[in-house]
Amino acid sequence: MERSTAAHRLGTAAWLGLLLFVVTAVAVQPMREDLHWLDAPLSLYLMGPGGHWLQAAYFVLAAALGLLGAGYYLALSRRARSAAPWLLFVGAGLGLCVTALAHSNLPGREPTLEGWLHGTAAQTAFLCVTTAMLLQSWRLRGDPHWRSRFPAAFALALACFVAIWVDALWHGMPRGLEQRLVIGLILVWLLQAARWLRVGPARR
């Protein structure tokens, strides 16, 4: 009962953190009249008006990922749980923190070491979080109480994993739109996973 209660509280905290990130990320974009959301990646909004709010939201998102991983580690049975997804969520969070603090390269300007660090950290965060999502979804199969959540969780996690590679290798649509679609898919999985922690395993 204690583990279940702790997992519920962690899920609630993660869910609130994720919502705060979404609200902040949407709210700061109208502050930048010099950028158009279809073309500008979210990284450019970390600088300039409202940038400090988005930086703070990245740190909140990083914390939410760690809480989510901890919640599922507590929620699943001993046989089904693994520290690997939790560690990957934490790794993604660290990548987000570096991404928030290191400024990205600006269009039309010479690339910088800081810009390289920003890009590397961002890609690391994407790769770590989607891999964590896949592993965590797969782990649901090992717990009879959570097994019914597996198909939906794994299917969406797989779609997100494929999407980050499509985003990296194919640029057939505006950069800002393409990135937001990927981020949106990932956030849908994360919000759903946090909600499941809040409500507990599905009734059989």
Question: Average of pLDDT values for 50-75?
Answer: 96
Angle, CA 199 vertex, CA 198 and CA 204 arms, to 5°: 145
What pTM was computed for the model?
Answer: 0.93
Give the residue numbers spanning the domain of 164. Answer: 2-199
CA-based torsion, 88, 21, 7, 9: positive or negative: positive
Tally the domains of the chain.
1
CA-based torsion, 190, 179, 152, 131: positive or negative: negative
Q: How far is CA 194 from CA 10, 16, 22, 90, 123, in A?
A: 8, 9, 14, 15, 23
pLDDT band of 70, cuts 50, 70, 90: very high
Query: Measuring CA to CA, which residue among 187, 149, 145 is closest to residue 4?
Result: 145
Question: Average of pLDDT values for 121-140?
Answer: 96
In a domain, 204, yes or no: no
In a domain, 137, yes or no: yes
The model's pLDDT over 84-97, given as tens digits with 9 standing for 90+, comes to 999 999 999 999 99
Query: Over pLDDT 70: what percentage of the chain?
Result: 98
